[in-house]
């Protein structure tokens, strides 16, 4: 299952019109533990920041349920950024989007977070809770107040602002301080001297009650837990608490009743006090119980026999069963049994590593984009080559550089000395600058923009990440891998053709690193390309008018365009018309540039002959066209072997929960030079679009997914050789 772990990290740019920002948030190390635990449970996990770009990132990562894909889920760790209803923000957004999530709904979170309302619900449900008062200002007056009382913000957690006071003057000072600091009402509650307990609940209808935890107050019945205790120096815990079985049964009954009275789901923690007479009082219920290692909830779960990994996956499972029923329960049980009997899967290790390295992958894209590499700018192209040489050498690869004076050095990296290789990765270093100029690296929500991000540099970053993941899993040495980076892809690859053909013919599989489509496409076929310049020739001694020259050129161009046949996969287009006609004189230049795209080489050859035949026809005044140009690249045809390769990639993607769909591209690329007998696919870079335009981009979430897919495909290429 695809699982998005959402927490709050980035708070920049937030306008604090809803009060101060929330202080409660997860330590990134805890978020990482949760994500790693879910990956060990066999899930495809992505950590997402719950900020203004959340919807875009979920759209790109979550399965397309409307198209029949299996739903994903959100593991909610987002406490919210600001506002008194912050716990409700993410669940409300997810309900609007129709995305299932772990934990309670917005109403239940709102009831639990508002300590005054929660105590009213408890009281109406017949549950014991200490006497309480709601202060809207320090001037409020209540005749039945009895000291000592405990003072706290009514909509905060982690014991922020909590204080015990013994006099009216101290009370009013504390109330004023809290209102000024937290900008919310204040809960004043009768203080209960005695013992303190924290009880975790897990599941639904009714929830499992975890072993009761007693907070070690070191024998002081007047002690309390402060925010410092919970965040910096946690108090000791006794679990199971040393109380009688009858009292423990009473506690279990109370907390289950409290959980159900607020309509909570999946997991929570109830805090209680017990006075000297053995009377229990519910203090509050935390609908987003902390999953930190030092918290009472995790402590109780470990006492109950859960590992951290099994606890996190159990929380996900009870939520999934609530949404999807017993079919999911049976599948989860089978998956858990399998994970106990088998060593950790390579795919899990690879995916876990890559997810943690997501910022590093993005940094690699940034660095390469900022190293502008326009075609024929040899110094810049070679600068990128030098940086990549250092990266591949760190991975244990050797490098063979092929000097190219006019376009930059072609680079071949390899991790073996055999003539044969399991897989050849194919990319390029030169990047065309779009008409509007170079676009620098820019992050915008779920997308990364920049010249070359999709064209070539995102794919190289994905390849580096995949190889690093395989090295981390101690598998890369088993794969005979070559990486060829050419330097004239954008100029039809004439200089690199021989090198590509020579290396590809000795590879079992070839994988191109250009971007895949935003619809999860990998490129299983590409069109061939021919480019032709049509130059107008007319007899100098005959009187030929400007109109006649132009009319002949336009008629021939129109006839050539009509050679297109969409049904046959044949497209002819006029790329450029060039006219230089000084005033009052015959045109010195009247040329056209024609581009031909074709799925079958024989169609391209036939069209070339027809273009030459049409150009050779003279007009009545002897005007004709001279043709220069030829077929620049053959097509990447979809052969049975290539189709089988793409189908195997789709099967690997399904196991990784990464959608893969075959697609055809009308743009040619260097992979078209791979001999037809060699299985080859392209578009294994990140998903993106807008190549060679000002709006070129890649989807951020696809960097990790495609790196994981590429790593496992490379592993499969080597395994196929062993078989």
| Annotated domain spans of the chain | 2-103, 111-312, 373-526+636-722, 528-633
What confidence tens digit (pLDDT) does each residue in 68-120 have?
667 899 999 998 888 778 889 999 999 999 999 999 999 999 999 999 999 99
- The confidence score (pLDDT) of residue 12 equals 63
Q: What is the 3-state secondary structure (H, E, C) of 463-509?
A: HHHHHHHHHHCCCHHHCCEEEEEECCHHHCCCCCHHHHHHHHCCEEE
How many residues are given for the chain? 723
CB-based contacts of 162: which residues, under 8 Å, 6+ apart?
A: 150, 151, 152, 224, 225, 226, 227
- The confidence score (pLDDT) of residue 141 equals 86
Gap between the Cα atoms of 716 and 649, Å rounded? 9
Gap between the Cα atoms of 175 and 155, Å rounded? 14
Gap between the Cα atoms of 31 and 28, Å rounded? 5
Banded model confidence at residue 723, pLDDT cuts 50, 70, 90: low
The pTM of this model reads: 0.80
Q: Which architecture does CATH list for 111-312?
A: 2-Layer Sandwich (3.30)
Average pLDDT over residues 288-308: 93
Strand, helix or coil for residue 83:
coil
Mean pLDDT taken over the chain: 89
Q: Show contacts of 572-575: CB within 8 Å, 24+ apart.
A: 572/596, 572/597, 572/607, 573/597, 575/531
Q: Taking a C-beta distance cutoff of 8 angstroms, is the pair 76, 102 a contact?
A: yes
CB-based contacts of 453: which residues, under 8 Å, 6+ apart?
A: 365, 369, 441, 688, 696, 697, 698
Q: Which two tokens stand for residue 171?
A: 């009370």
Average pLDDT over residues 12-37: 78
Gap between the Cα atoms of 114 and 287, Å rounded? 11
Q: Which residue in the block uniquely carries the two structure tokens 């935390």?
A: 286
CB-based contacts of 512: which residues, under 8 Å, 6+ apart?
A: 425, 426, 427, 459, 523, 669, 670, 671, 680, 681, 682, 683, 684
| pLDDT at residue 243 is higher than 50 | yes
Strand, helix or coil for residue 6:
strand
Banded model confidence at residue 19, pLDDT cuts 50, 70, 90: low
Q: Is CATH 3.40.630.10 the right assignment for the domain spanning 373-526+636-722? A: yes
| pLDDT at residue 11 is higher than 70 | no
Provide the terminal-to-terminal Cα distance of the chain, rounded to the nearest Å. 30
| pLDDT at residue 362 is higher than 90 | yes
Does 111-312 match 2-103 at the fold level? no
Q: Cα 480–482–484 angle (5° rounding)? A: 170
| pLDDT at residue 65 is higher than 80 | no
Gap between the Cα atoms of 707 and 282, Å rounded? 50
Banded model confidence at residue 63, pLDDT cuts 50, 70, 90: confident
Q: Is CATH 3.40.640.10 the right assignment for the domain spanning 2-103? A: no
User: Of 77-91, 247-261, 573-587, 651-665, where does the model show the most confidence?
Assistant: 247-261
Q: Distance between alpha carbon 350 and the CA centroid of its chain, in Å?
A: 15
For 22-31, 283-292, 446-455, 552-561, which range has the lowest pLDDT when averaged over its residues? 22-31
DSSP string covering 153-194, please? ETT--TTTT-EEE-SHHHHHHHHHHHHHHH-S-EEEEE---S
- The confidence score (pLDDT) of residue 336 equals 54
For 19-23, 259-263, 438-442, 714-718, which range has the lowest pLDDT when averaged over its residues? 19-23
Q: Which two tokens stand for residue 408?
A: 């930059």
Helix (H) or strand (E) holding 394: helix 378-394
Gap between the Cα atoms of 148 and 160, Å rounded? 19
Banded model confidence at residue 445, pLDDT cuts 50, 70, 90: confident
- The confidence score (pLDDT) of residue 621 equals 79
What are the angstrom distances between the C-alpha of 268 and each of 69, 207, 259?
31, 10, 8
- The confidence score (pLDDT) of residue 341 equals 46
CATH value of 528-633 in 3.30.70.360, 3.40.640.10, 3.40.50.10490, 3.40.50.2000:
3.30.70.360
Q: Which two tokens stand for residue 565?
A: 């046949």
Q: What percent of the chain has pLDDT over 70?
A: 92
* DSSP at 418: -
Gap between the Cα atoms of 715 and 470, Å rounded? 8
Average pLDDT over residues 156-164: 77
Average pLDDT over residues 186-191: 93
Gap between the Cα atoms of 240 and 362, Å rounded? 46
- The confidence score (pLDDT) of residue 117 equals 94
């Amino acid at each position: 299952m695809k699982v998005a772990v959402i927490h709050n990290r980035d708070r920049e740019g937030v306008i604090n019109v809803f009060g101060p920002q929330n202080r409660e948030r997860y330590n990134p190390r805890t978020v990482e533990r949760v994500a790693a635990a879910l990956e060990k449970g066999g899930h495809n996990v992505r950590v997402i920041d719950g900020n203004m770009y959340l919807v875009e990132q979920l759209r790109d990562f979550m399965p397309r349920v409307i198209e029949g894909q299996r739903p994903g889920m959100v593991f909610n760790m987002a406490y919210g950024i600001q506002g008194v209803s912050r716990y409700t923000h993410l669940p409300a957004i997810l309900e609007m989007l129709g995305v299932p999530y772990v934990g309670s709904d917005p109403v239940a979170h709102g009831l639990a977070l508002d300590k005054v309302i929660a105590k009213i619900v408890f009281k109406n449900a017949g549950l014991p809770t200490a006497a309480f008062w709601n202060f809207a200002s320090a001037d409020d007056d209540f005749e039945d107040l009895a000291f000592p009382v405990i003072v706290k913000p009514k909509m905060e957690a982690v014991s922020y602002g909590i204080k015990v006071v013994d006099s009216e003057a101290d009370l009013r000072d504390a109330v004023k301080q809290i209102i000024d600091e937290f900008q919310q009402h204040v809960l004043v509650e009768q203080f209960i001297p005695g013992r303190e307990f924290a009880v975790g609940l897990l599941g639904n209808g009714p929830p499992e009650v975890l072993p009761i935890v007693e907070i070690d107050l070191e024998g002081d019945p007047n002690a309390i837990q402060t925010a410092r205790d919970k965040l910096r120096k946690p108090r000791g815990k006794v679990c199971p608490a040393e109380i009688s079985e009858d009292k423990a049964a009473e506690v279990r009954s109370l907390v289950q009743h409290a959980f159900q009275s607020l309509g909570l789901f999946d997991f929570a923690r109830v805090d209680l006090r017990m006075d000297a007479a053995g009377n229990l009082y519910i203090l509050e219920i935390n609908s987003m119980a902390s999953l930190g290692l030092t918290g009472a909830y995790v402590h109780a779960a470990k006492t109950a026999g859960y590992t951290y990994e099994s606890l996190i996956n159990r929380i996900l499972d009870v939520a999934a069963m609530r949404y999807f029923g017993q079919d999911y329960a049976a599948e989860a049980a089978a998956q858990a049994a399998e994970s106990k009997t088998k060593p950790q899967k390579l795919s899990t290790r690879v995916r876990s590593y890559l997810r943690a390295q997501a910022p590093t992958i993005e940094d690699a894209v940034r660095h390469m984009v900022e190293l502008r590499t326009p075609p024929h700018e040899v110094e810049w192209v070679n600068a990128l080559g030098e940086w990549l040489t250092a990266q591949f050498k760190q991975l244990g690869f050797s490098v063979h550089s092929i000097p190219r004076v006019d376009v930059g050095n072609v680079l071949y990296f390899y991790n073996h000395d055999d003539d044969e290789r399991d897989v050849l990765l194919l990319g390029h270093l030169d990047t065309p600058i779009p008409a509007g100029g170079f676009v620098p690296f820019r992050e915008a929500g779920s997308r990364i923009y920049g010249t070359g991000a999709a064209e070539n540099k995102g794919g190289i970053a994905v390849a580096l990440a995949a190889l690093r993941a395989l090295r981390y899993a101690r598998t890369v040495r088993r794969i005979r891998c070559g990486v060829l980076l050419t330097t004239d892809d954008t100029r039809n690859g004439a200089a690199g053709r021989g090198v590509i053909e020579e290396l590809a013919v000795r590879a079992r599989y070839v994988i191109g690193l250009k971007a895949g489509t935003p619809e999860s496409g990998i490129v299983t076929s590409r069109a061939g390309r021919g480019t032709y310049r049509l130059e107008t020739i007319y007899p100098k001694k005959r009187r030929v008018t400007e109109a006649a020259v132009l009319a002949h050129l336009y008629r021939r161009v129109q006839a050539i365009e009509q050679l297109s046949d969409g049904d046959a996969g044949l497209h002819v287009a006029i790329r450029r018309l060039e006219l230089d006609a000084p005033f009052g004189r015959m045109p010195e230049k009247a040329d056209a540039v024609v581009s031909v795209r074709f799925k079958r080489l024989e169609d391209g050859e036939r069209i070339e002959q027809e273009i030459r035949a049409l150009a050779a026809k003279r007009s009545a005044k002897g005007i004709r066209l001279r043709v220069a140009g030829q077929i620049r690249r053959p097509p990447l045809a979809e052969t049975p072997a290539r189709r089988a390769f793409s189908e195997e990639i789709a099967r690997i993607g399904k196991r990784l929960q990464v959608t893969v769909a075959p697609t055809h591209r009308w743009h040619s690329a260097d992979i078209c030079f791979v001999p037809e007998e060699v299985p080859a696919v392209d578009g294994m870079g990140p998903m993106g679009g807008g190549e060679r335009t000002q709006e070129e981009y890649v989807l951020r979430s696809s960097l990790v997914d495609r790196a994981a897919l590429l790593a496992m495909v490379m592993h499969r290429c080597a395994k196929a050789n062993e078989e």
